Amino acid sequence: MALLDVRNLSVGVEDGEILHGVSLEINKGETHVLMGPNGAGKSTLGYALMGNPNYKVTGGDIFFNGLSIKNESADKRAKAGMFLSFQNPLEVPGISLSSFIRNSIVQQTGEKIKYSEFKKNLKEAMEVLSFDSAYKDRDLNVGFSGGEKKKAEILQLLMLNPKLAILDETDSGLDVDAVRTVSRGIEEYQKKRDGALLIITHSTRILESLHVDYTHVLVKGNIVETGDGSLVTEINDHGFERFIGGQENN
Amino acid sequence: MAEIKPDVKDIDRSLYDFRYEEKDFYKVKEGLTEDIVRQISKEKNDPEWMTEFRLKALETYNKQTVPEWGPDISGLNMDDIVTYVRPNTAMKGKWSEVPDDIKNTFERLGIPDAERKSLAGVGAQYDSELVYHNVKEEVLAQGVVYTDMESALRDHEDLVKTHFMKLVPPTDHKFAALHGAVWSGGSFVYVPAGVKVEIPLQSYFRLNAPGAGQFEHTLIILEEGADLHFIEGCSAPKYSVANLHAGCVELFVGKNARLRYSTIENWSKNMYNLNTKRAICEEGAKMEWVSGSFGSHVSYLYPTTILKGDDSHMEFTGITFAGKTQNLDTGAKVIQIGKNTSSSISSKSISKDGGISTYRSSVTVMPEAKNAKATVSCQSLMLDDISVSDTVPAMDIRTDDADIGHEAKIGRISDDAVFYLMSRGISEDEARAMIVSGFANPVSKELPLEYAVEMNNLINLEMTGG
């Protein structure tokens, strides 16, 4: 049984339908990459999978661990083991990064964790990301640079340890060094924890150090091609032109 | 900072919303007449000047009109209000001597526990009179006086006479006049020159009797170089009839002294809270207000500071939470007179379920206040489309070298932020409560830990419908 089984999923917002029958299967420990030109609906898929109420499922279904989660709220999906790293993480004043993470862990597991143990895990995860430990006491994402916000997302990924992580444009707006640091965190999740990944990106820089099992190309709300990791290289060399052309001929 | 604890939801309204019968209590009749004022004065063994003071204040009250610029108070009928309810006990210095039902009330509010853990002294008022007062020996040994106003009137009559309602005269407004006529209870604090009281003193005011008014008077005098943190708490069970709170707080902060005055107010939602608080700062003095307004049906509350001395300073940090059926008009005022004075007002308000929250402030810089500095910042958060938030900041600057800053922000909880928190496994209610607690955090950070926790509990209670 696949960990995530997306069946013929259509998703719309107020202005109309964006995804038109997307199907996708992700097994435990697999890394999938979703690529596509701007406006293809990549982030929409991420939001719809995580349960953003502004993105309505108009057809098809989503199964996680064999259960339909189409009608579950985002917090239930998170508790089931899903995680979304946001393209633009929100700023929440008055809640420190560390107490937010601790709260999330308590909410997800329903159990208190020992403060000493939490502190140790947090310190280790921050070291993986070369993340200045002073940030743990700062208000969640408030005044963080783009790179720091993405580090904070990956820090949450490492601390929450989900079964499936959807990374939405985690590399956008980052300089070369920051991309490298962030991918180190993702690699840690992928290799040491055998986590499954759906990496949404329109560039390939973040994938350089990661093993990729499958690549999907999303164009105008449809997956038009699925291949292995080598598809990433092809897109890197030639762009999306071939797929966009193919779509127009349909 | 205070952690947001998910288990706070378990606390329900019954924490505040319980009552005992006021059996054997002495009560005056409802309404306000010269006879009733004389009766209160007699019951309290006032010195003659105080009786005269009361009667004069009553005259003023009868002449004054109700304010027409704030929330509606037409639901308050003075003919229905009992202005004096004396519990069936004299003031005690040991909890074990306080009658059980009254003691239980304060036990449930956590007062004796807080006293043991973190306070230098406690006063507890039940309806119109103090039922308990106690100060730690070492604080007394420093020459600090902390007692109820009645004892102060007896034992420190000169100090009371020269300060009582000098900052807030009965002519100030109708409810100051009412206070002058029927006041009872409250605390008196005197801190001698150079004495720093290391841990806070707290007075807790509990109004138990339905249809009653509470009119406690708090008078604090800090001599040169003294330092004090005073905490005030208040609550009441909910009744279907109107209750009235018209307290008065007068704070005299001497040269280079520092006073911090913290309040967590959680009156029940049938309460008209028409309270007046005022401080005056001498040269180099510092006044700090921390104010949390959660309860009452209607509030008019604007702690005022007069920066009389050169180089004096005031800081106000406040939060107001207006829920269903609440119309809370709160803020702060400052009058800067001395040279190089500075003031900083930071206010937050939250409105929910049709609650109305109005921020009202005024900053006055007098012509002689050279090199004055003032900053005002107010932020409002509206939690739904039916709630109302307003800001009415006034500034009257009469110098040409003042440094003035003002910032106002009104916002709503963003759906994106709620989704963000939910995507980490936090429920929708919890996510909203976290965002609101976060918004309130700069205020709770200013409070001692126990009170910060209480404030977060109150927010959670409001947010989850307790």
From B350, B396, B339, select the one nearest B372 (Cα to Cα). B339
pLDDT tens digit sequence for B270-322: 999 999 999 999 999 999 999 999 899 999 999 999 999 999 999 999 999 99
* A42/A202 Cα distance (integer angstroms): 9
**Chain A nearest CA to B19, separation (Å):** 35
Q: What percent of chain B has pLDDT over 90?
A: 71
* B397/B401 Cα distance (integer angstroms): 10
pLDDT tens digit sequence for A54-86: 999 999 999 999 999 999 999 999 999 999 999
Contacts of B9 in chain A (CB under 8 A): none
Angle (CA) B448-B406-A143 rounded to 5° is 65
- Mean pLDDT, rounded, for A154-176: 93
Does the CB of B426 have a partner CB in chain A at under 8 Å? yes
Sequence-separated (6 or more) residues with CB below 8 Å from residue A115: none
SS3 B444: helix
Q: Which helix (H) or strand (E) holds A121?
A: helix A115-128
Q: Which of A52, A53, A96 sits opposite B1 (nearest CB)?
A: A96
Place of tokens 């435990």: A28
Q: Which of B417, B422, B423 sits opposite A92 (nearest CB)?
A: B417
- The pLDDT-based confidence of A247 (bands split at 50, 70, 90) is very low
pLDDT at residue B108, rounded to an integer: 86
**Chain A nearest CA to B421, separation (Å):** 8
Does the CB of A104 have a partner CB in chain B at under 8 Å? yes
Residue B442 or B19, more confident: B442
In degrees to the nearest 10, what's the CA dihedral of B174, B387, B441, B336? Answer: -40
Where in the sequence is the domain holding A77, given as residue range(s)?
A: 4-249
Query: Do B270 and B244 contact (CB within 8 A), yes or no?
Result: no
Does the CB of A84 have a partner CB in chain B at under 8 Å? yes
In the predicted structure, residue A117 carries a pLDDT above the cut 50: yes
Mutate to test the interface with A, among B379, B381, B420 (most CBs of A within 10 A): B420
Residues 168-227 of A with CB under 8 A from B: none
Q: What is the DSSP letter of A191?
A: I
In degrees to the nearest 10, what's the CA dihedral of B12, B321, A104, B442? Answer: -130
Q: What percent of chain B has pLDDT over 70?
A: 96
Q: Which helix (H) or strand (E) holds A98?
A: helix A97-109
pLDDT at residue B465, rounded to an integer: 61
Residues 122-141 of B with CB under 8 A from A: none
pLDDT at residue B12, rounded to an integer: 45
In the predicted structure, residue B207 carries a pLDDT above the cut 60: yes
- The pLDDT-based confidence of B5 (bands split at 50, 70, 90) is very low
- Mean pLDDT, rounded, for B7-15: 43
Q: What is the DSSP letter of B368?
A: T
Does the CB of A100 have a partner CB in chain B at under 8 Å? yes
- The pLDDT-based confidence of B14 (bands split at 50, 70, 90) is low
Q: What is the DSSP letter of B461?
A: H
Place of tokens 């999923």: A9
Contact A90/B420, CB-based, under 8 Å?
yes
N residues, chain B:
466
CATH value at residue A55: 3.40.50.300
Q: Which of B414, B430, B438 sits opposite A107 (nearest CB)?
A: B430
Does the CB of B66 have a partner CB in chain A at under 8 Å? no
Contacts of B427 in chain A (CB under 8 A): 73, 75, 107
Does the CB of A78 have a partner CB in chain B at under 8 Å? yes
**Chain B nearest CA to A237, separation (Å):** 35
pLDDT tens digit sequence for B39-87: 999 999 999 999 999 999 999 999 999 988 999 999 999 999 999 999 9
In the predicted structure, residue B362 carries a pLDDT above the cut 50: yes
pLDDT tens digit sequence for B108-136: 888 898 888 888 889 999 998 989 999 99
pLDDT at residue A119, rounded to an integer: 95
Does the CB of A92 have a partner CB in chain B at under 8 Å? yes
ipTM of the complex: 0.95
Domain count, chain A: 1
Does the CB of A110 have a partner CB in chain B at under 8 Å? no
In the predicted structure, residue B2 carries a pLDDT above the cut 60: no
In the predicted structure, residue B11 carries a pLDDT above the cut 70: no
A171-185, B28-42, B183-197, B268-282: least confidently modelled range: A171-185
Contact A107/B424, CB-based, under 8 Å?
yes
**A–B interface: beta-carbon pairs under 8 A:** 86
- The pLDDT-based confidence of B8 (bands split at 50, 70, 90) is very low
**Chain B nearest CA to A54, separation (Å):** 9
